[in-house]
Structure 1
Amino acid sequence: MLDVVVLVSGGGTNLQAIIDAVESESITNTRIVGVISNNKNAYALTRAKQHGIHSECISPKDYASREEFNERFLEKVDEMNPDLVVLAGFLVVIPPQMIERYRNRMINIHPSLIPAFCGKGFYGLKVHEAALERGVKVVGATVHFVDEGTDTGPIILQRAVEVCPGDTPEMLQRRVMEQAEWKILPEAIDLIANDRVKVSDGRVVITE
């Protein structure tokens, strides 16, 4: 059984996609053991509560220094003893010691086809604004392992989504969520839960 902790800052639509997939058993061998947010008003915490999942808020604002927060944050995650940590719209920089401890056991969903529109400053609507400004015809989402860089870890899954004439950033964001993010994030978790994902020379190999 794969024990998963989900980290989320906002509404938690990707969290909901994971919860729904676990409950419908399209994600197998998996249970969500906790949800952590840095935002006490995040609707994600309500979603967790509604499904009987342990949830907590831990915010950098409540600590005198970033070091103190990082230490407590890592302690909180460790207390839940996860096999996999999932970043589902989590807007806090992950401490280096946590990346090291959960090497190839922490994944992130990013709303573009990496390496396009990724890295520092590219998050949320900013990604879709940049894509529309550039005039690309295809966008999408990527699930990748987390490493020391921003959106630079080994790529697990990607899915493309077409840009439509007249798209606004909000319309494009919604379509990328519905057609890509909410599909490939649960799929990646299921692959990991069934031991089908290996990292070799910095690349992901998915086995049958």
Structure 2
Amino acid sequence: MKPSLKLGFLASGAGSSAQAIVAAIRSGELAAEPRLMVSNNKSAAALEFARSQKIPALCIPTQADPAAADAALAEALASHGVELVVLSGYLRQLGPKTLARYAGRVINIHPGPLPRFGGHGMYGRRVHEAVLAAGVSESGVAIHLVDEEYDHGPTLAARSVPVESGDTVETLEARVRAAEPSFFVETLQKVARGELQLP
């Protein structure tokens, strides 16, 4: 049976969720095909991982000329047959060409409940700091569609992660991070099986 999801990955660092997704594909747990890994950072471990898995890997720097990078990214994804784009710790906002070509087909994982703990500048430890400062009893992981605003697109799936007494930013971050890869895989499995519909 032909794989139902043709995935492209964007990562700025290790791409831990992307690595978990590729592992699930290789083990037959996820009916998908990894078509391309792109990073804005030439030294990203995600690129090295992709090469080790025989997945095409590209570095497309974004700072010098964001418009050219946007056009190059949209073209690279399309030329590799990517149908669904997965952000795995990609710390750059997508440009209009990529968003137009992949409208409703770009998904991101966020390390906190949305929309309360999302938005511009809310990534990594800043999210966990805000959750602890708010005094809430639960944090979480949210998988959402990406649009032109940070953390703004509709949430596809969410999983709560408890905030425990005595938590520090480090302990909460570790607990949320541990939940992310498997949750991303589970969500993509639902998309592949048709149980979770993209718009």
Matches within 5 A, 1:35-54: 35-54=37-56
Paired with 1:78 and 1:57, the residues of 2 have a C-alpha distance of 16
Paired with 2:27 and 2:167, the residues of 1 have a C-alpha distance of 32
Matched, 1:103 2:98: no
Question: 1:93 Cα deviation (Å)?
Answer: 0.9
Report the AA paired with residue 69 of structure 2.
F
SS of 2:6's partner is strand
Paired with 1:83 and 1:71, the residues of 2 have a C-alpha distance of 17
Question: 1:197 Cα deviation (Å)?
Answer: 2.6
Q: What is aligned with 1:4?
A: 7
Label 1:51 to 1:106 Cα distance change in 2 as closer, same or farther (>3 A). same
The alignment covers a number of residue pairs equal to 196
8 Å CA contact 1:154–1:199 kept in 2: the answer is no
Q: What is aligned with 1:189?
A: 188
Q: Percent identity?
A: 36
After superposition, the C-alpha distances for 1:19-75 in whole angstroms (9 at most, x for unaligned) are: 222122222x201111100001111112212222111111124x4x32222212222
SS of 1:78's partner is helix
Question: 1:168 Cα deviation (Å)?
Answer: 2.0
Moved more, 146-155 or 4-13: 146-155
Unaligned runs of 5+ in 1: 201-208
Question: 1:125 Cα deviation (Å)?
Answer: 1.0
Question: 1:170 Cα deviation (Å)?
Answer: 2.1
Matches within 5 A, 1:1-208: 1=3, 2-27=5-30, 29-61=31-63, 63=64, 65-179=65-179, 181-199=180-198
After superposition, the C-alpha distances for 1:117-142 in whole angstroms (9 at most, x for unaligned) are: 10111011110111112222110110
Question: 1:166 Cα deviation (Å)?
Answer: 2.4
After superposition, the C-alpha distances for 1:53-112 in whole angstroms (9 at most, x for unaligned) are: 111111124x4x322222122222222121110011101110122212111211111111
After superposition, the C-alpha distances for 1:149-196 in whole angstroms (9 at most, x for unaligned) are: 2212121110001112222212211211212x1122111212222233
8 Å CA contact 1:86–1:108 kept in 2: the answer is yes
Report the AA paired with residue 17 of structure 2.
N
Paired with 2:110 and 2:194, the residues of 1 have a C-alpha distance of 23
Report the AA paired with residue 26 of structure 2.
E
Q: What is aligned with 1:204?
A: none
Moved more, 46-55 or 85-94: 46-55
SS of 1:35's partner is strand
Question: 1:199 Cα deviation (Å)?
Answer: 4.7
SS of 1:60's partner is coil
Paired with 1:175 and 1:163, the residues of 2 have a C-alpha distance of 9
Over 3 Å off, 4+ runs: none
Unaligned runs of 5+ in 2: none
